[in-house]
Structure 1
Amino acid sequence: MGVRNYITLFLLSFSAFIIVSTEFAPLGVMSLMGESLRASESEIGVSVTIYAWIGTLVALVTPMFLAGINRRVLLAVLLGLIALANYITSIADHTFYLYLARVIGGIANGAFLAFLAITATSIVKDEVKAKATAIAFLGVSFASAFCIVIVNFLSTYLLWQTIYNILSLSAFACGILLLVFVPTLREHSSSKGFALFKKTFENKDVVAILLISVCCITAHFSIYSFVQPWLANTLALEESSVSLLLLCFGVAGFLSNTLLTRYIEEYLSKIVLYAIALTAMCLLLFSVFGIKGYTLVLYPLFVIWGGCVSSLIVCFQALVIKLAKQEAGNAVAIYVSCFNGAIGLGALLGGLLLQWFGIYILMLINGVIVLIACYQYFKRFIKGGVNG
């Protein structure tokens, strides 16, 4: 890849970082926003759900309405919407304006992520498409791992409104730079409208990867959504230990995505297999060592868990692109919807299972789900010889 391609990919990655940071930023300043807007923490938390679920719906319909638009202009406009959403949030004096901003941001989020991987792979040669996907998604991993920590840290020195202004200006700047560096691109699909779903779902290998990814991501977020209270309340760990464990998870995730840029092309199928298997192992061992109180063992498990889950998010998308071929744009949009939907589904099912059975049975159930997904992946894509 040339220097210009690398610059473009890292611009896409930083843009994704801003968009995902916009999604999770309220969680880092929840109390401060609640005081300013005279709202409860649950009302602020709802704004994150609004952002995610609207992103899910928009990503699903994006190929129907936006595929023929010049992608360079489209991405810049979407970042402009993110800038607008953050600005509205910064001047909001009521939850109505916060929710309005989240609706605008959610629309931009869904459309941008639906086009992120396909844009990254469109500017490089076939042999480095998976590497380009990994680079573009570095920003997603970094934001997912560190956004809340960074926003919370900045809030000790800056007003939360100032943080949103920084996000707004950053999004606007990224939009301008993408206009300069992204070439003129348009999506070309052999199917239109709702026919694109039929065309994509006729590819059984893509459907298999989508189902496996939904199982793994749902199981992960069923646990991850409640990991902080598990560590702090059930295991009674000190706040510093909880923060360190979550930091281990985040750093491992970021480093794994960095390593993916080097090895994903050559070992994509095997990376997915090992990552699913190790994720299942971690979820199952959490229930064992958590009950017995072996908290020191949690540190290596969190490192493995963070690295594997972060790798899977990128590798699943790379596999979808590789298997879908000419329908890659449509398939990626469906994957993004599945991914966002699985986050919400995981939190919902996790809450129900936690209430009914407790945290350790929740871990056991989700560990078994991922183990079954691992077997199905091995059976179809490794033993079955499907070219992933």
Structure 2
Amino acid sequence: MAEIVIKNLRKDFGDFNAVKSSSFTIGDGEFFMLLGPSGCGKTTTLRMIAGLELPTSGEIYIDGEEVGQRPASERDIAFVFQMFALYPHMNVRKNISYPLISQGMPRAKVKEKVAEVARILGIEDILDRPVGGLSGGDRQRVALGRAIVREPKAFMMDEPLGALDAEFREHMAEELRALHDRMGATTVYVTHDQLEAMQMGDKIVVMNHGVIEQFGVPQDIYDWPATMFVAEFIGSPPMNFLRFDGVAEAGRGSVQMNGHDFLVPDLRDGAKGPLVLGVRPEHVHLSEAAPYRGKVIATEYLGTTQIVTIKTPNGEIKARTGSEASVNAGENVGLEFNGNTVTVFEANTGIALRSAANERVLAHG
């Protein structure tokens, strides 16, 4: 397999700048996620790595070789699309074997490799069936088989589970990750689904408007978002934002909001003016003794937990609490935050201030 290095990658379509000077490294054997909303540049980035689009500028290295201006046929890349892209007039066996036959591989070797891939994917019983009558999940397995059988340097996957229903999509995500772990293949995977990215990825690039907002491991991106966009895009419910005018002083471990002091990790950066206190719902605690208070406007029962929505002087906030807690709409409740998990953002830029907790992440994100 191969390491993939991207340096200052840019793509323009006329006057439209789709990808803006992206740089990151995909480690050999990593399952790497390109995550973001529609139109953010993630698929364009994938297509440039694969050679289906040539970059306007920048460099792409695959296994140490610069391939930025080479066509897809010269990159030893396998591509898996959302809509399967199978040959409808061929059965499963012929679909999987087609890349090998077109390369002139001996038939005995082709048969051996197809049998091996079918065993890995659990589709040995459908090899001689036409693809037209297969379920969505089986058709996706066939598409994966056709990519895997070539043993390329890397796999490019463009929302390959997007056409499946929600329940089966989750099951296939688990299967795909398990398949990756068995093969150790370098995989670049595009998705707009943050849960899918968090579940499957070793590393994640979060993109928005052609810009990389953050790059890192899923846990770091969730715990320490670099921007308000990442904080809101990752998590369900997303991070809470409490807006206030105040001062964040470098070297201090607290900020004052509406006359109340809130603990934060020791700040490395200072800022003043419009600020935002960011806190995840699971780090919001209801406490009768807390002086900072709000009014409960809704509760959502989720089985083992519940989501409580509270109106505060600085905006609505959601708390994830145990389902046994008795909380009713209209109640006035006190709120406490776990100070070690709070992020402070500049409201005008949306950028997180560096702190003792997040500086390692932001330095590499």
Instruction: Tell me, yes or no, whether TM beats 0.5.
Output: no
Q: More relative contact order in 1 or in 2 (CA 8 Å, sep 6+)?
A: 1
Larger radius of gyration: 2
TM-score calculated relative to the size of structure 1 = 0.24
Q: Which has the higher helix share?
A: 1
Q: Which has the higher strand share?
A: 2
